[in-house]
Amino acid sequence: MPTTSGRAPSLFQSLIPILVLIGLLASGVYLFGDDSSGGPSQIALILSAAVGIVIGIRNGFTWKELEAGIVHGISLSLGAVLILLVVGSLIGSWILAGTVPTMIYYGLSLLTPSIFFAAACLICAFVSLATGSSWTTAGTVGVALIGIATAQGLNPGLAAGAVISGAYFGDKMSPLSDTTNLAPAMAGTDLFTHIRHMMWTTVPSILIALVLFAILGFTGTVPSDTTSVAGIQQSIEAQFNIGLHLLLPVVVVLGLVVAKMPAFPALLIGALVGCLFAVLFQQDAVLTYVGQTDLPRPVALLKGAWMSLFDGFKLESGNATLDDLLTRGGMSSMLTTVWLILSAMMFGAVMETTGMLQQIAATILGAVRGTGSLIAATICTAIGMNVIASDQYIAIVLPGRMFRAEFKRRGLHPKNLSRSLEDAGTLTSVLVPWNTCGAFMAQTLGVATLTYAPFAFFNWINPMVAIVYGFMNFTIERLPASEVEAVDRIA
Model confidence at 491, pLDDT cuts 50, 70, 90, reads very low
- Per-residue pLDDT, 328: 81
- Per-residue pLDDT, 3: 54
Are the C-beta atoms of 396 and 425 separated by less than 8 Å? yes
pLDDT at 335 over 50: yes
Instruction: In whole angstroms, give the CA distance from residue 385 to residue 27.
Output: 16
The mean pLDDT of the chain is 85
pLDDT at 61 over 90: yes
pLDDT at 194 over 50: yes
Greater model confidence, 272 or 397? 272
- Per-residue pLDDT, 229: 67
pLDDT digits (tens, 9 = 90+) for 111-150: 666 788 999 999 999 888 877 888 878 877 887 788 777 7
pLDDT digits (tens, 9 = 90+) for 269-293: 989 999 999 999 999 999 999 988 8
Percent with pLDDT over 90 in the chain: 39
Residue 176's φ and ψ, nearest 5 degrees, are -85, -10
Greater model confidence, 108 or 315? 315
- Per-residue pLDDT, 178: 83
- Per-residue pLDDT, 35: 67
Mean pLDDT to the nearest integer, 158-169: 95
Stated length of the chain? 491
Mean pLDDT to the nearest integer, 378-395: 83
Least confident of 50-54, 107-111, 265-269, 484-488: 484-488
Q: Residue 233: is it exposed, middle or buried by C-beta count within 10 angstroms (0-12/13-18/19+)? A: buried
pLDDT at 316 over 90: no
Least confident of 18-32, 159-173, 209-223, 305-319: 209-223
pLDDT at 454 over 60: yes
- Per-residue pLDDT, 356: 87
- Per-residue pLDDT, 341: 77
Least confident of 6-20, 143-157, 170-184: 143-157
Residue 478's φ and ψ, nearest 5 degrees, are -95, 155
Distance (Å) of CA 156 to CA 95, 220, 456: 31, 12, 12
Are the C-beta atoms of 172 and 223 separated by less than 8 Å? no
Mean pLDDT to the nearest integer, 213-236: 73
- Per-residue pLDDT, 326: 83
Mean pLDDT to the nearest integer, 198-223: 88
Model confidence at 53, pLDDT cuts 50, 70, 90, reads very high
Long-range contacts of 139-142 (CB under 8 A, 24+ apart): 139/324, 139/444, 140/321, 140/322, 140/324, 140/325, 141/104, 141/108, 141/229, 141/232, 141/321, 141/325, 142/167, 142/444, 142/445
SS3 annotation, the chain: CCCCCCCCCCHHHHHHHHHHHHHHHHHHHHHHHHHHHHCHHHHHHHHHHHHHHHHHHHCCCCHHHHHHHHHHHHHCCHHHHHHHHHHHHHHHHHHHHCHHHHHHHHHHCCCCHHHHHHHHHHHHHHHHHHHCCHHHHHHHHHHHHHHHHHHCCCCHHHHHHHHHHHHHHHHHHCCCCHHHHHHHHHHCCCHHHHHHHHHHHHHHHHHHHHHHHHHHHCCCCCCCCCHHHHHHHHHHHHHCCCCHHHHHHHHHHHHHHHCCCCHHHHHHHHHHHHHHHHHHHCHHHHHHHHCCCCCCHHHHHHHHHHHHHHHCECCCCCCHHHHHHHCECCHHHHHHHHHHHHHHHHHHHHHHHCCHHHHHHHHHHCCCCCHHHHHHHHHHHHHHHHHHHCCHHHHHHHHHHHHHHHHHHCCECHHHHHHHHHHHHHCHHHHCCCCHHHHHHHHHHCCCHHHHHHHCHHHHHHHHHHHHHHHHCCCCCECCHHHHHHHHHHC
Mean pLDDT to the nearest integer, 7-22: 90
pLDDT at 151 over 70: no
- Per-residue pLDDT, 259: 77
pLDDT at 370 over 90: no
Highest mean pLDDT, choosing among 41-45, 86-90, 292-296, 452-456: 452-456
Are the C-beta atoms of 269 and 278 separated by less than 8 Å? no
- Per-residue pLDDT, 111: 63
- Per-residue pLDDT, 302: 94
Are the C-beta atoms of 167 and 188 separated by less than 8 Å? no
The residue among 117, 124, 151, 134 whose CA lies nearest residue 440 is 134
Instruction: In whole angstroms, give the CA distance from residue 233 to residue 74.
Output: 43
pLDDT at 56 over 90: yes
Least confident of 57-66, 138-147, 304-313, 378-387: 138-147
- Rounded to two decimals, the pTM is 0.72
Q: How far is CA 23 from the centre of its chain?
A: 24
Greater model confidence, 308 or 41? 308
Are the C-beta atoms of 96 and 303 separated by less than 8 Å? no
Mean pLDDT to the nearest integer, 363-391: 85
